[in-house]
Amino acid sequence: MENGGDNLEAQIEALLNVEKHTRQAGDVASTRKAATDILKLCFDAGAWKTLNDQILLLSKRRGQLKQAVQAMVQQAMEYIDQTPDLDTKIELIKTLNSVSAGKIYVEIERSRLIKKLAKIKEEQGLIAEAADLMQEVAVETFGAMAKTEKIAFILEQVRLCLDRHDYVRAQILSRKISPRVFEVDASKEKKKPKEGESIVEEAPADIPSLLELKQIYSHLMIRYHSHSNDYLEICRCYKAMYEIPSVKEDPGQWIPVLRKICWYLVLAPHDPMQSSLLNSTLEDKNLSEIPHFRLLLKQLVTMEIIQWTSLWNTFKDEFENEKNMLGGSLSEKAVEDLRLRVIEHNIMVISKYYSRITLKRIADLLCLGIQEAEKHLSDMVVSKALIAKIDRPVGVVCFQTAKDSNDILNSWSMNLEKLLDLVEKSCHQIHKETMVHKAALKV
C-alpha cells in the first residue's frame, strides 16, 4: 500500500508540473485536462483526503484558469454519490462548496452542492440548519440556470421554512415566484439564444416539469395560508391546481379539488373577489358531479335566510368525509367560521329587506340571543361590510344610510337636470306639432 501511495504522489507531482507549465502558457484545454486527470487518479485510488487536498491546492494556484476550476468542480460532483460513507460525502461537498464560493462561473454547481448538503442535514433531522444553508443562495439572480431548476430550488427553500415554522421568511421567498411563471408559452420554449445572450443550461433529469412544479407550489402556498386561515387565498391555490390539465382529465383528482374550492369559498368572508369566484364556480359544468355542493353555493348567492341547523345537518357528513379526501380535513376552526359566514349572510339578507327592524326580530330571524345578534351586527359594521345604526334604548336597528349635505345637493342637482331635460323635450314636441299643423293648413 505504501508503494501505491508513493506511486500516486509521484503521478500527481508529475501532473502538477504539467498543469503549471500549461497554466503559465495560458493553454486552457491542457490545464483543464491536467487538473481533471489529477482528480481521476485520486478517485481511482480511493484517496478521498488527497482528492479534497488537491481540489483546494489546484483552485488556489496563482492565476488559475476559471475553466480549469469549473471542470474540476463538475468532475468532483460526479464522485459525490460514489463516496464510501456519509462523512466522506459531507467533506467532499464542503470542499467543493468552499472552492466555488464567490465564483460566478460555478454558481449553478454551488447551488446544487448546497441543495445536496441541505438534504443530508434534513435527513439527520437538522431542519433549521438545512433551511439556513438553502437561504444562502439567491438562485433568481443566476442567468444561466434553467427556469424549472430555479423554481424547484426556491420551492425547496419555502418548504424548509414551512417545516421550521418560519412563516415570515416562507412568504418572502414565495414572492420570488410569480404565478404567471407556470403558464407554458410554446412560442418561447426551445428558442435559440441570440448573439451575445448567455446560454441557459439544461435542467437536471430529476427536476420536475413546470406543471408538476405548479402543483408543488400550490400545495406549499396552501400550507402557508392555512397557518393564518386565509380561506380565500387557499381557495385560489386549489383553483390553480384545478386548472392543471393532468388534474382536470382525472375525476379522481379534480372532484376532491373542486370540493375544497367549494368549502373554502363558503368559508371565505364576503368580498368582490369571493363573489366573483363563487359565481364562476357555479357556472362550472363539473359541479353537476357533486350536486350537494352546487346547492351549498346556491344558498349563498340567494337572498334568503339560511337555517344554520338544517344546513349543518345536511353537510355534516360531507364535512367529516373531507378528511378522507385529497388535501386532508378542514381546520378545527372551520365549523365556527362556517356558522359565522351563515350569520353574516343572514344579516346581509335582513339589511336588504328592512330599513328599520327591532333587535329582537333580528335575533329571532338569526336563531340567536339578542346580545349575540348585536355583537355580530356590530362586527359587520366595524369591518365596513354593512352600514347600520342601533338605537339601544328603543332596541331598533336602522339600515338606512344618513346622507350628508353634498349627497343631498347632488341628488337635487340631478333632479333639476332631469326636469329641465323633460321641459326641453316637451317644447321640442310642441314646436314639431305646430309646424306639422301649419303645413297642413297651408295645403
pLDDT digits (tens, 9 = 90+) for 58-109: 777 787 777 878 787 887 778 777 777 788 888 878 888 777 777 777 778 8
* 61 occurs within a structural domain: yes
Check which CATH number belongs to the domain holding 374 and give it: 1.10.10.10
- Residue 390's H or E segment, with its range, is strand 389-391
Contacts of 74 (CB under 8 A, 6+ apart): 109
Question: How many whole angstroms separate alpha carbon 289 and alpha carbon 257?
Answer: 13
- Judging by DSSP bridges, how do beta strands 396-398 and 389-391 pair with one another? antiparallel
Residue 242 · residue 257 · CB < 8 Å? yes
Please check whether residue 267 is in contact with residue 248, taking contact to mean a CB–CB distance below 8 angstroms: no
pLDDT above 90: residue 423: yes
pLDDT at 4 over 70: no
- Tell me the backbone φ, ψ of residue 102, rounded to 5 degrees: 80, 5
Looking at 66, 83, 100, the residue that finishes a domain is 100
| Percent of the chain whose predicted confidence (pLDDT) is above 90 | 3
Q: How far is 373 from 364, CA to CA, in rounded Å?
A: 9
Is residue 427 scored above 90 in pLDDT? yes
pLDDT score of 186? 44
Is the model's pLDDT at 222 over the cut of 80? yes
DSSP assignment of 218-275 equals HHHHHHHHHHTT-HHHHHHHHHHHHTSHHHHT-HHHHHHHHHHHHHHHHHSPP-HHHH
How far from chain centre, in Å, is Cα 250? 23
180-184, 302-306, 391-395: the lowest-pLDDT one: 180-184
Query: What whole-number distance in Å separates Cα of residue 389 and Cα of residue 399?
Result: 7
Rounded CA gap, 194 and 172, in Å?
Answer: 33
Does the residue 20 lie in any domain? yes
Percent of the chain surpassing pLDDT 70: 91
- Would you tell me how many other CB atoms lie within 10 Å of the CB of residue 158? 26
- H or E stretch at 299: helix 291-301
Output the pLDDT for position 198: 53
Quote the number of domains for the chain. 2
Contact call for residues 23 and 66 (beta carbons, < 8 A):
no
Any domain includes 377: yes
> 437 is written with which cell numbers?
299643423
Instruction: Judge whether 247 lies within some domain.
Output: no
Rounded to whole angstroms, how far apart are CA atoms 7 and 344? 84
Flag whether 292 is in a domain.
no
Spatial separation of the C-alpha atoms in residues 39 and 76, rounded to whole Å: 7
- Give the strand pairing for 396-398 and 356-358: antiparallel
Question: Is the CA virtual torsion 141, 143, 147, 150 positive or negative?
Answer: negative
Three-class SS state of 357: strand
pLDDT tens, 234-265?
A: 888 888 888 888 877 777 778 888 888 888 88
To 5 degrees, how large is the angle CA 342–CA 343–CA 344? 90
Tell whether the model's pLDDT for residue 216 goes beyond 80. yes
pLDDT at 3: 45
Helix (H) or strand (E) holding 397: strand 396-398
Residue 272 lies in a domain: no
Boundary residue ending a domain (76, 100, 124) = 100
The CA distance from 2 to 47, in Å, is 13
Tell me the pTM.
Answer: 0.75
Given strand 389-391, what is the order of strands in its sheet?
A: 356-358, 396-398, 389-391
Residue 420 lies inside a defined structural domain of this protein: no
The residue that leads in pLDDT, 326 or 391, is 391
- For the chain, report the end-to-end CA distance as a whole number of angstroms: 134
Distance CA 145, CA 140 (A): 9
pLDDT tens digits for 366-388? 888 888 888 888 888 888 777 88
The upper half-sphere exposure of residue 349, i.e. CA atoms within 13 Å in the direction of its Cβ, equals 18
Residues 134-189 pLDDT 10s: 777 787 777 777 888 888 888 888 888 888 888 888 888 888 888 788 776 544 55
pLDDT reading at 125 higher than 70? yes
- Specify the pLDDT at position 191: 52
pLDDT, average across residues 260-283 = 84
* Comparison of pLDDT for 6 and 151, the residue scoring more: 151
The stretches of 26-140 forming alpha helices (DSSP H) are: 28-45, 48-60, 66-79, 86-100, 107-123, 127-135
Query: Domain range holding 70?
Result: 1-100
Residue 7 has pLDDT above 50, yes or no: yes
Residue that terminates a domain, selected from 100, 126, 147: 100
Residue 55 lies in a domain: yes
Nearest CA-CA partner of 142 in 187, 94, 109: 109
Closest CA to 33 of 67, 78, 82, 81: 67
Q: Which tens digit of pLDDT belongs to each residue from 339-365? A: 888 888 888 888 888 888 888 888 888
Query: Shortest CA distance to 362 belongs to which of 374, 378, 379?
Result: 374
Cβ pair 273, 279 in contact under 8 A: no
- With bands split at pLDDT 50, 70 and 90, how would you rate the model's confidence at 420? very high
What average pLDDT does the chain have? 80
pLDDT greater than 70 at residue 413: yes
The pLDDT of residue 403 is: 67
Confidence (pLDDT) at 187: 45
Q: Is 398 helix (H, G, I), strand (E, B) or coil?
A: strand
